[in-house]
Each structure stands twice: as structure tokens, then as C-alpha cells.
Amino acid sequence: MSASGRVRIIGGTLRNSRLDVPDLPGLRPTADRVRETLFNWLQPVVGGARCLDLFAGTGALGLEALSRGARAVTFVERDARLAAALKANLARLKVEGEVVGDDASRWLRGPGRPFDVVLLDPPFALDAWETTARQLEDGGWIAAHGWIYVEAPRGAALSLPHNWFPHRQGHAGEVAYALYRRTPADPLS
């Protein structure tokens, strides 16, 4: 699925648009069916939302959010080829998005700005879920009642912040995915 031109937008104003994607080892775009399920879950909140697509890769998740009415999407991708492809796809599709060419962990050390929806799908080999989740929570990157999508290997036991409450979850093949709702942390805990 990582070959050029094989990723497409599932719904919204960009529906059926194809994304030009470099063929790179380890690139694992979120499956069409999973994206469709996720954005059905997010449908009531994605319109007008500020979204963060960490470990953006192809940018399919963030572009799907833009297609479905997100106000703004920030894509963070450390691979220069993927970041360049993302910028080219945004220009070709005539949509606005901020592409940050940086390592997600390093970028999250900067000043936080709260996002309504965070899309957390790191390369599985990085095992970055828990560290990144803590950076997001501690750094002020998630709105008080924001939503967090997490994609991980099926069967992975993740230790996520205690104030991220599971809303919906599913699996497709060897991939597990879940949508969490953040509530403000209890200052006494």
C-alpha cells in the first residue's frame, strides 16, 4: 500500500483524491476501512477542529480531517521526502496545512498549543506511544476535552495517561485502533 498514488481520501470534499506517496520501507498508511471508521466516530467534532497529525507519514489522516471540515491541521513528519510529498499533495489539492519537518518528540518539547483532535500513529518499530502520550499531556498539546486517536500493533499493552478515556476501539488485521476522550487531569492525583 506504500507505492506512489495508492492512498486515497475516503470522504468529504476531497473524496477519491489520490495522494502521491514515496515508496519507502516501513511506511504503513492507515487502511481505508480504518480511516472511514475513525472519521465516522469523529464526524460530530471534526468540523472546525484544530488537528495535529503526529508521525504524519503519508498525511492521509490529517488530509482526511481537512476533507471533512477541520479548520486547521498541523502535520509533523521527520522524513524529508515524506514532508516534501505532503507539501506537494496539499498544494495539488489546493488545501492549507502546516507541515513541520521535525522529529515528533523534539517538536513536542516546544511551547504547547492545544489541539482538538490528535492523531497518534507512530511507526510501530519506534515504540513511541507512551513517551509521546506523556509529552502531549504534559506539554499542553491537547484541548481540555480533546480527542486522541491511537493506532498500534494488535495486542500491544499501552500505558496511556489516566485521563484519556476510551471512547471507541477496533482492529483490522494486526492493527488495533482506538479513539480516546481527554478530560482535564485531576490536580490532586
Helix (H, G, I), strand (E, B) or coil at 15: coil
Average pLDDT score, the chain: 91
pLDDT of 157 reads: 86
Q: Quick: pLDDT tens for 103-145.
A: 999 999 999 999 999 999 998 878 889 999 999 999 999 999 9
CATH number of the domain at 7-182, please?
3.40.50.150
pLDDT of 187 reads: 54
Is pLDDT above 90 for 28? no
Between 9-13, 77-81, 100-104, 181-185, the lowest mean confidence (pLDDT) is in 181-185
Name beta bridge partners: 117.
51, 147
Element (H, E) at 74: strand 72-76
Distance CA 147, CA 164 (A): 9
* The 115-120 sheet, strands edge to edge: 98-100, 72-76, 50-54, 115-120, 142-153, 175-182, 164-172
Is pLDDT above 80 for 185? no
Q: Which residues contact 133 (CB under 8 A, 6 or more apart)?
A: 120, 148, 150, 158, 160, 161, 164
Helix (H, G, I), strand (E, B) or coil at 86: helix
pTM: 0.91
Residue 136: all three cell numbers together: 502531549
pLDDT of 79 reads: 93
The whole-number average pLDDT for the span 136-162 is 94
Buried b (16+ CB within 10 A) or exposed e, 125-144: eeebbeebbebbbeeebbbe
Q: Quick: pLDDT tens for 34-55.
A: 999 999 999 999 999 999 999 9
